[in-house]
Amino acid sequence: MKSKKAKVKKGITVIGVIPARYGSTRLQAKALAMIHGKPMIQHVYERCLKANLLDEVLAATDDKRIYDTVMGFGGNAVMTSKSHKSGTDRIGEAVKNIKCDIVVNIQGDEPMIDPVNINMAVAPLLKDKSINVSTICYKIKDTKDISDPNIVKVIKDKKKFCFIFFQKCYSL
């Protein structure tokens, strides 16, 4: 895979991978849902291209329609197994034969993802080699979001490291 962007840090290759499956649970084929004349996957892909800390962007899919769509708008895509239980598993298969140092998991259903947020997730990994996982989060402002299982929550320790991720809240 040929890099389209200059290396941010000599010798370190950062690839953003967008897992996209056709059989989405809540909305079938959401990667292909049209938003202002473009499929959602294209919006996500184009936003990722604006993140200057990514050397490459790749869509990983289990469906030829999504693959063809990505290739059709000039993106890079790879076919993966339909048997994966998570997007992370799909990404693992997609990058197994790609030489890269950092892999960024970019959710395929976030057409308005801010490239600045992608850079914020990558920057600590470039700065400190002892850090091997990074994510972004924000403070919940609407208390209804606390009980929404579709919103992943995180509890951080005093050093701002993740203590735990969870979706469902349980009463004690």
Mean pLDDT over the full length of the chain = 90
Half-sphere exposure of 154 (CA within 13 A, CB side): 12
Cβ-in-10-Å burial (0-12, 13-18, 19+) of 95 comes to: middle
Lowest mean pLDDT among 70-79, 95-104, 125-134: 125-134
pLDDT tens digits, 40-71 = 999 999 999 999 999 999 999 999 999 999 99
The residue ranges of every structural domain in the chain are 14-127, 137-171
Alpha helices in the chain (DSSP H): 40-49, 64-72, 87-95, 115-127
- Residues 100, 125 contacting (CB under 8 angstroms): no
Look up the CATH superfamily of 14-127: Spore Coat Polysaccharide Biosynthesis Protein SpsA; Chain A (3.90.550.10)
Lowest mean pLDDT among 72-76, 79-83, 132-136: 132-136
- Please give the pLDDT value at position 114: 97
SS3 58: strand
